Amino acid sequence: MADEKSLHFLEEIVERDLKEGKYTGIATRFPPEPNGYLHLGHAKSICLNFGLALKYGGFTNLRFDDTNPTTEETEYVESIKEDVRWLGYNWANEFYASDYFEQLYTFALRLIDKGLAYVDDSSSEDMATQKGTPTKPGVANQYRSRSIEENRQLFTDMRAGKYKDGEKVLRAKIDMAHVNMLMRDPVIYRIKHAHHHRTGDAWCIYPMYDFAHGQSDSIEKITHSICTLEFVPHRELYDWCIQKLEIYPSHQYEFARLNVTYTVMSKRKLLTLVNEKYVNGWDDPRMPTLSGMRRRGYTPESIREFCDKIGVAKRENLIDIGLLEFCVREHLNKIALRRMVVFNPIKVVLTNYPEGQEEILTSENNPEDPSTGVREMPFGKELFIEADDFMEVPAKKYFRLAPGQMARLKSAFIIKCDTFVKDANGSITELHCTYVPESRSGSDTSGLSVKGVIHWVSARHAVPVEVRQYDRLFRVEDPALIGELADALHPDSIKVTTAMAEPALQSATKADRFQFMRTGYFCLDADASEKKLIFNRTVTLKDMWAKETAKGK
RNA sequence: UGUCCUAUGGUGUAAUGGUAACACUGCAGAUUUUGAUUCUGCCUUUCUAGGUUCGAAUCCUAGUAGGACAACCA
């Protein structure tokens, strides 16, 4: 019996519309501009739009808002499609605003014929001046009173390529003194002699967002057009166009965009990170892009769960990145295969283990999911363990190895540290331990009980692998508050080291998710090859001991 | 010195005029062959001032705070 989850405000609107019989089914759309890669903020929008249609019976179109040929590229179209699919959603139709250019042009003519649009020859500077400010009304210029015939001719000539970029624009004729700046005769068409990624050189005039988006919604009979809060002032213009054009009345609703601590979500800033080479491309595992997160090892399930948990509302928010990490740990804990990898090895010699002997031990692949079975681990006289798992002088509450102390090697034997060897620098290089033969996991008759359990690999069988340990990209909670993006960067957002892995990892595939026991969740990186295994750390395991030791400092 | 949007624990989100709750975080404990997971408990909340009402987080008014709006970007 699942408890009723309360509805967010958009679900309430949809339910009310459905109940009142306004619609029999809903239609939404996800409308990215193909000028960058999708990020976590887009995921929120995708989950919302597709989720609503899925929940209430309807469909979602993927519509590329490609009205600005100078910034848009096919490369982005492909990545966007891949990311939406990866997140787990299927669009009903793949559309482009550019599919509607001819229709939109007709709409513009309709406005002209109604005396609701005019061609303006002003420079953009002059237009800005004439527009006034939020507190000062704008003023009309001489072009505003051009005749319908003249406007028609001029606009037709604009399309025919008779003018250069910036020479003329088409403006809606609304109200230069309107309290909403966007209603002060907004530009709806501009001249751009530029190659468009889909329409090629067919057009030299392109509609502005406000004369393309709502109309596209209307053409597709979108019932609920959902966007972020910064478009609230556009709604008035959105409705004006639909009303004057007398076309299908789609409605716009706005929600608060996603912000996450220690990251940035603006396309401009992400582009800067890529262009200035602060990261290695859009899919750098430190990026909050979906391609970056995918490469890092995030699962679509965990991202969807995150989007569900953060909710949908209208107030500005800054979500703790810890919630994202919680979501991915929660999922990975259920599906990741357990493996042992020693990051900072010291050698352990089992002095009472017969010389030359080896045996095969087994260990669960995933205790959360017994159906995943076990894998085999070779065991021998010489092992590697984590340097951190030994303390010459144990701290209080430390219950791993120390001189005279015992610990269990996970899935193997209990060992006791007898002596240790130091090198010339005073750092510990080797531990000499004795193992308890009758303490073998699964058939332990030793009667001993030890609290410390540590991971290990057989020295002779250990496989060196590269591990890329990522940390947050920014050192401050809200990088937007720092003027220069570079100043907000975390200096150690990536640490590359070589670690010693158990042999089972040699058969890792790119689809596998691993938990390196007691360390974190990892996956094979795209750069990995048969010869060289490279693992990305998706997220660390929660570490209460680290917290405990930090307290003392 | 305009218009619009928003205001609930540290962070998010509920409560739809009738006992302020859920998740994350934090803290404490139990279990544990991962100091993980799991489980238990605890801390902490309605921006301010008026008003309406038997009763207000919820409705009204004013204030305060934050955000948006002056691209031929979306």
**Is there a contact between A337 and A366 (Cβ–Cβ < 8 Å)?**
yes
Pinpoint the alpha helices (H) of A347-492.
485-488
Q: pLDDT per residue over A200-234, tens digit each?
A: 999 999 999 999 999 999 999 999 999 999 999 99
A5-12 own/partner pairs: CB under 8 Å, 24+ apart = A8/A311, A8/A312, A8/A313, A9/A255, A9/A312, A9/A313, A9/A314, A10/A48, A10/A52, A10/A224, A10/A226, A10/A253, A10/A255, A10/A312, A11/A52, A11/A55
Å from A505 (CA) to B29 (C1')? 37
Q: Which residues contact A524 (CB under 8 A, 6 or more apart)?
A: A508, A509, A510, A512, A533, A534, A535, A536
Q: Which residues contact A158 (CB under 8 A, 6 or more apart)?
A: A119, A168, A170, A189, A191, A204, A205
Q: How much is the average pLDDT of A6-22?
A: 95
**Is there a contact between A497 and A304 (Cβ–Cβ < 8 Å)?**
no
Instruction: Give yes or no: A267 in active site.
Output: yes
Q: Which nucleotides of B are covered by protein (CB under 7 A)?
A: 1-8, 10-16, 23-27, 33-38, 66-74
pLDDT range class, residue A18, cuts 50, 70, 90: very high
Cα A282 to Cα A250, A472, A513: the distances in Å are: 34, 16, 22
**Is there a contact between A365 and A375 (Cβ–Cβ < 8 Å)?**
yes
Q: What residue has its CA nearest to the C1' of B3?
A: A179
Q: pLDDT per residue over A297-333, tens digit each?
A: 999 999 999 999 999 999 999 999 999 999 999 999 9
Instruction: Give yes or no: A33 in active site.
Output: yes
pLDDT at A553: 56
User: Which nucleotide shows the minimum CA-to-C1' distance to residue A267?
Assistant: B74
Q: pLDDT per residue over A460-474, tens digit each?
A: 999 999 999 999 999
Pairing of strands A406-409, A453-454: parallel
Q: pLDDT per residue over A264-285, tens digit each?
A: 999 999 999 999 999 999 999 9
Pinpoint the alpha helices (H) of A345-456.
none
Q: pLDDT per residue over A362-404, tens digit each?
A: 999 999 999 999 999 999 999 999 999 999 999 999 999 999 9
- According to DSSP, the residues that pair with A524 across neighbouring strands are A535
Q: What residue has its CA nearest to the C1' of B74?
A: A209
**CB count in 10 Å sphere of residue A32:** 23
Q: Which residue has the tokens 């004729």?
A: A173
Which candidate in A168, A190, A267, A329 is catalytic?
A267
Å from A441 (CA) to B38 (C1')? 22
Q: What residue has its CA nearest to the C1' of B33?
A: A410
Both tokens of residue A41? 């903020």
**Does residue A4 carry a pLDDT above 80?**
no
Q: Percent of chain A at pLDDT above 70?
A: 99
Which candidate in A198, A257, A269, A475 is catalytic?
A257
Å from A451 (CA) to B31 (C1')? 13
Q: pLDDT per residue over A343-367, tens digit each?
A: 999 999 999 999 999 999 999 999 9
Q: Which residue has the tokens 């406007």?
A: A151
pLDDT at A551: 73
Helix (H) / strand (E) containing A92: none
Q: pLDDT per residue over A24-82, tens digit each?
A: 999 999 999 999 999 999 999 999 999 999 999 999 999 999 999 999 999 999 999 99
**Does residue A456 carry a pLDDT above 60?**
yes
pLDDT at A552: 66
Both tokens of residue A242? 């639909």
Instruction: Give yes or no: A257 in active site.
Output: yes
Å from A366 (CA) to B37 (C1')? 11
Compute the C-alpha angle A11/A14/A19, nearest 5°: 120
User: Which nucleotide shows the minimum CA-to-C1' distance to residue A413?
Assistant: B33
CA–CA dist A120, A126 (Å, integer) = 11
Q: pLDDT per residue over A491-509, tens digit each?
A: 999 999 999 999 999 999 9
The per-residue DSSP string of A465-518 comes to: EEEEEE--SBSSS-GGGSSSHHHHB-TTSEEEEEEEE-GGGGG--TT--EEETT
At A198, the amino acid letter reads: R
Q: How much is the average pLDDT of A105-122?
A: 98
Q: Which residues contact A133 (CB under 8 A, 6 or more apart)?
A: none
pLDDT range class, residue A2, cuts 50, 70, 90: very low
Q: What residue has its CA nearest to the C1' of B73?
A: A68
Both tokens of residue A312? 């949908």
Mean model confidence pLDDT for chain A: 96
Q: pLDDT per residue over A86-101, tens digit each?
A: 999 999 999 999 999 9
pLDDT range class, residue A1, cuts 50, 70, 90: very low
pLDDT range class, residue A527, cuts 50, 70, 90: very high
pLDDT at A483: 84
